[in-house]
């Protein structure tokens, strides 16, 4: 045993209290990670094809995700929404051919990736959320001016004194 201590002396009440504290802190860290993680959801109102079936863009829709405010969508519109947490709800209001307003049932979903895209036409057509949502992979763009600009040395409140050292 460590420095001549017996197992009973090592695994005393203090050891278990400390172990408990460490476990609580790790659990808190895991909770904070999932609770505080921000992901982006793109609500997309473009005509699309899922599992071989075509869905035409909705003429008009009012969409709200997690009480973050209504947003109006016309065909060929896509907007990004920053979301926190694990489970989200989307509320959709649209209209039929006679311009009668239809309020769809709220749809619960989880985001499959840090950037996901959800198809509004597919949801309006009644497709389940897990089919209508997929990971959003943006097209790779060449190195932009902003990338190099980010490498300029930053000056904080004390000015640039890095050369003093």
Partner 1 sequence: MKREINSKDVRNFLSNNIVPIIFIVLCAACFPVAGYSPEYLADQIITRIMRNSFLVLSLLIPIMAGMGLNFGMTLGAMAGQIGIIFITAWNVVGIPGLLLAAIIATPIAVLLGWFCGKMLNMARGREMITSYMISFFMNGVYQLVVLYGMGPVIPIHSDQVILPRGYGVRNTIDLLNVRKSIDNFWSIKLFADENGVGGINIPILTIILIALLCVVIIWFRKTKIGQDMRAVGQDMEVAREAGIKVERTRVLAIVISTVFAAYGMVIYLSNMGTLNTYNSHSQIGMFSIAALLVGGASVSKASIKNVFLGIVLFHLMFILTPQAGKNLIGQAQIGEFFRVFVSYGVITLALVLYEIRTRREKAESAKTLALSQMQEAQA
Task: Write out the residues near partner 1 by the rule CB under 8 A.
Answer: 25, 28-29, 32-33, 35-39, 84, 114, 143, 147, 150-159, 161-162, 164-165
CA–CA dist 164, 150 (Å, integer): 23
Which one, 7 or 154, has the nearer CB to partner 1? 154
Q: Which is nearer to partner 1, 41 or 57 (CB)?
A: 41
Q: How far is the CB of 33 from partner 1 (least distance, A)?
A: 6
Rounded distance, CA 125 to CA 123, Å?
A: 5
Q: Give the Cα separation of 69 and 61 in Å (integer).
A: 13
- Least distance between partner 1 and beta carbon 55 (Å): 30
Residue 54, token pair as written in the block: 């075509």
Nearest distance in Å: CB 77, partner 1: 25
Burial of 132: CB neighbours in 10 Å, binned 0-12, 13-18, 19+: buried
The smaller minimum CB distance to partner 1, of residues 103 and 155, is found at 155
């Amino acid at each position: 045993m460590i420095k001549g201590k017996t197992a009973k002396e090592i695994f005393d009440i203090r050891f278990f209290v400390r172990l408990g504290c460490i476990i609580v802190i790790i659990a808190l860290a895991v909770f904070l990670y999932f609770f505080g993680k921000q992901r982006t959801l793109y609500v997309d109102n473009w005509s699309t094809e899922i599992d071989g079936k075509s869905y035409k863009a909705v003429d008009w829709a009012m969409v709200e995700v997690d009480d973050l405010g209504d947003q109006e969508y016309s065909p060929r519109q896509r907007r990004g929404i920053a979301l926190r947490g694990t489970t989200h709800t989307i509320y959709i209001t649209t209209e039929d051919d006679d311009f009668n307003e239809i309020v769809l049932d709220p749809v619960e979903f989880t985001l499959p990736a840090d950037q996901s895209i959800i198809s509004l036409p597919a949801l309006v057509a009644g497709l389940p959320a897990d089919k209508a949502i997929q990971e959003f992979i943006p097209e790779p763009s060449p190195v932009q001016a902003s990338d190099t600009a980010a490498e300029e040395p930053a000056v904080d409140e004390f000015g640039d004194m890095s050369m003093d050292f």
